[in-house]
Chain A
């Protein structure tokens, strides 16, 4: 396949046949691809590139740690739908990208990482700051490569953007030896992509789509089960149209939240380990499961053998390798979700399915998400509900990983795609703050809130300095339970309450925030929650709020690992609370 990424700006004309250094070629190509924002950290072997970035018309954000920079680029991509670009030096710089790349890989986020490398003739000699970057990152990138010849540089960068942003998106890393950055080459017509092994399928097979439509039209108890693929492919509108026209309830994975308005009566909210009981029951009792851009993750399916036992399964996905990987699929449709749903939409019919919706209404009424509203403590769920109320459900929310992440998924009712930015696949603690920064850079006018855990925040809180430097009005709400709460919950339930190493002393976060130049607030009383949130939302600077929440609250319901979706713990607790 030969295709080309078209020029997005007119910078190309003057570049005709000039002799340029590799670093200049990189910058010109990035500009030509429409890049106006980058994240990165300098170092010896990327100095030629940084020198060319000195006066390039590109907004450049320097994180305090390359991991932070990579999460920023990732969140920038997720919030904007554009490619996020991160740069790091060789060796330690490249190694610090690892967690960020793996996070982007698991959540199919379009990131291009440019890393410096030691001089070509030193590669393999254990040179100063040498690491086998392509070797280390091969399993955690969609594609990576080392550029050994300046002639290949422009083409490789265009290929990196093309691969990162098409098909099932993912991170791509290009390793640039310093001698390639300074070598000279003529730039002529835009280089043509040459990727014989990379084919992007868009249109789904019409016969498969017809079969899917027929199954939908015949189904008494269908459920749409949708994942992050609906968001990356910008298919939310088509999804809503399909759900409405065919009258099908919709449940979402953590990554799928936002793809379907959770205030819509057809929404079944999140499914899975900490999903809604009504979503899990609906999946277990449905006769047709329509998976769109979701990958049957073990946190979603529980025990695979008993997942959706009565259902015929339709799976719509761009990645053929996702199909029948863990759950047997009856009607696979490979291609772009948007094209497929558009075609499907024409062939489906409205059916009332009164009995099915009655049953769902009963489950919804009997087992809603709930918490003890009369508790004297600040319940984290209450804080999140109050944030939702005061932001009218319109904020872009990022999270760390743990209980607070699950409560955010349960209690912030997401309404729009790209509104929740969270590390779903890898579950990377420390993602929340740098993600909030990346999202705020991508969406300067949006309200961006990081709902974080104390220990997740501890991991990357140094990036608060980055937010202050760029005067980004992000808000960080720490659900401070003093524990690695999710670990504590598992220890309480499955390890005889032996709280091994899941407690650490925390700093005074308001003081930390102030020391780094942000606004710091503390909330210790339940009655003060609304007022403190108001005060936080008034701030035009980065603001951290330390909510001292109930230390022993648990996330319910919970499907213990390896159990079926309908074997949820904590339903009795929820029933008592409503």
Chain B
């Protein structure tokens, strides 16, 4: 099962290597790991999607917390969260297919960020399932390249998806 773990870490050299090394050394499975700055320049936030059962997750949380530059660990499993992935995807788009593609992009609330003679680059963000669905829809046109960020998440305040 997939779990989203959020770790606030000190902005120090070697922290990413430490976290990644710990996951590798203990045989934990990372699905994705995103690091970025936070509102406080002293800290970064890591959002880690981990695959494993509850026992594995408990160890992941504890082993993360044990790393000294890791300040706080939160497990978002079983709690309402907003999750987002960002994807840039370049799809083959000969002129005769473009209208069709634009319609799809519209449905997915994506943006065209680059246009070439034979392709379009589209930016899509959303929960992972939406990104996957968009990839599936694009596949028949021919995917030329694809880059994804992995999941970031924050706890949800409102009761439902907005």
| Known pairs A195-B68, A321-B59, A321-B66; A138 contacts B18 (CB<8 A) | yes
Assembled-state Cα–Cα distance A144/B18 (Å): 10
Residues 72 to 127 of chain B near chain A (Cβ within 8 Å): 72
Q: A138-B17, A195-B68 are in contact. Are A320 and B62 (CB under 8 A)?
A: yes
**Contact of A507 with B by CB under 8 A:** no
Do B55 and A324 have beta carbons less than 8 Å apart?
A: yes
Asked whether A319 and B68 contact (CB < 8 A) given A197-B9, A324-B58, the answer is: no
A-side interface size class: 20 to 34
Q: Is B34 an interface residue (CB 8 A)?
A: no
Q: Enumerate B36-70 residues with CB–CB distance to A below 8 Å.
A: 42, 55, 58-59, 62-63, 65-70
- A-B CB pair tally, cutoff 8 Å: 44
Question: In the assembled complex, how far is the CB of residue B24 from the closest CB belonging to chain A, in whole angstroms?
Answer: 9
Which A residues from 87 to 122 make CB contacts under 8 A with B?
none
Interchain CB contact under 8 A, B68 and A197: yes
Give, as a whole number of angstroms, the nearest-CB distance from B73 to chain A: 10
- Once the chains bind, are A197 and B59 in contact (CB under 8 Å)? no
| Chain A interface SS verdict (over half) | mixed
On chain A, the residues within 8 Å of B22 by CB distance are: 139
Binary CB contact string for chain B from 112 to 148 against chain A (1 if under 8 A, 0 otherwise) = 0000000000000000000000000000000000000
The reply to whether B65 and A320 contact each other, CB–CB distance below 8 Å, is yes
Size class of the contact patch on chain B? 20 to 34
Q: Which of B12, B21, B58 contacts A138 (CB 8 A)?
A: B21
Contacts of B10 in A (CB 8 A): 196-197
- Docked Cα-Cα span, A196 to B7, in Å, equals 13
Instruction: Tell whether A163 is near chain B: CB-to-CB under 8 Å.
Output: yes
Q: Is B13 an interface position by the 8 A CB rule?
A: yes
Q: Is A455 an interface residue (CB 8 A)?
A: no
Given A320-B62, A321-B63, A325-B59, residue A197 in contact with residue B69 (CB < 8 A): yes
Interface presence of A134 (CB below 8 A): yes
CB distance from B66 to the nearest CB of A (A): 5
A197: B residues at CB distance < 8 A:
9-10, 67-72
Shortest C-beta distance, B6 to chain A (Å), equals 14
**A377 in the interface, Cβ–Cβ < 8 Å?**
no
Q: For B17, list chain A residues within 8 Å (CB).
A: 135, 138
Besides the contacts A138-B17, A144-B14, what 18 more A-B pairs have beta carbons closer than 8 Å? A135-B17, A138-B18, A138-B21, A139-B21, A139-B25, A142-B68, A143-B68, A145-B12, A195-B68, A196-B10, A197-B9, A197-B10, A197-B70, A197-B72, A198-B68, A321-B59, A321-B62, A321-B66
The 6 nearest A-B residue pairs measured at CB? A321-B62, A197-B71, A143-B68, A196-B71, A198-B68, A321-B66
Interface of A with B (CB < 8 Å)?
Answer: 134-135, 138-139, 142-146, 163, 195-198, 319-321, 323-325
